[in-house]
Amino acid sequence: MKRVLLFVLILVSMLLSACSIPVNTIHEPTSTPLYALNVNVSPSGAGTVSPLNGEYESGQQVFLNATALNGYTFDYWDGAVSGSSNPVIITMNSDKFTTAHFRATTIPTTTVASASVTPVNSAKISFTYSGSFTNQIGIGDFSDIPRLGYSYLVLNISINNQGYTSVDLYPGIDFYVVINGVKYSQTLVTNLANELPAFVIILDGGTVSGELAFEVPVRSISSNYQVTYEQGTTGTYNIIYLQR
């Protein structure tokens, strides 16, 4: 009898072991990868793109919408998306980089700010200059665009030496523009047709001509100015635009 009871207990123990469920099984939740979206605008300041740069889940579809600012129109996309459709959909299955390109609707209007003026700096050096305002230098993606709220004042300057053996000038340092009492120094741009070099030597009887650009407040464009000139105290030349 005892042997039968022992056999029954062993059999029951084996059956329970076979039916048991392991208690150490752990199911980890799966995570969705995130990918970065980077959008640029060309030229800078010509428009905006929404949404902003950010991270999105894998497989998420993002609607990109390009909006042109005044004086521009949307042109095309390149990078992760291409073509001229706007808006466009981009699927985030990896990190994405794209650029929205804009173009000027018209060649920027240039307003003449002064007629040619001939101030006499000394008995032996004189120069003439004329100025014009513009909101873009050059055409296309690689044109120079001023900061928001500013325009370019482009001066065409001709410097003449009569009497000195030679004259050394640093046009970008020696010339300033003063508008309503505020002094502006030269702004470096890449698309001036005839930019004055950083350093010039003018021999006796010689003349050097070229352009300098100055970034000034955009309100200056629509104003009328009386243009005067004064010699600086340290060998500089101040071209003064006084609003009438």
* pLDDT tens, position by position, 126-147: 777 777 788 888 876 678 888 8
DSSP state of 137: B
Q: Dihedral sign for Cα 228, 188, 103, 62, please.
A: negative
Which amino acid is present at 239?
I
The predicted-structure confidence for 169-205, as pLDDT tens digits, reads as follows: 888 778 888 777 788 888 888 888 888 888 888 888 8
Q: Are 199 and 168 in contact (CB under 8 A)?
A: yes
Nearest Cα to Cα of residue 165 among 196, 200, 199, 201: 201
Q: How many residues does the chain have?
A: 244
Does the pLDDT value for residue 60 go beyond 60? yes
Nearest Cα to Cα of residue 134 among 106, 159, 94: 106
Q: For 65-69, 165-169, 213-217, 236-240, which range has the lowest pLDDT when averaged over its residues?
A: 236-240
Q: Are 110 and 211 in contact (CB under 8 A)?
A: no
**How much is the pLDDT for 179?**
76
- Enumerate the domain spans of the chain: 34-104, 111-243
Average pLDDT, the chain: 75
How does residue 65 score in pLDDT terms, banded at 50, 70 and 90? very high
The predicted-structure confidence for 150-170, as pLDDT tens digits, reads as follows: 888 888 888 888 878 888 888
- Say whether 174 sits in a helix, a strand or coil: helix
CATH number, span 111-243? 2.60.40.1240
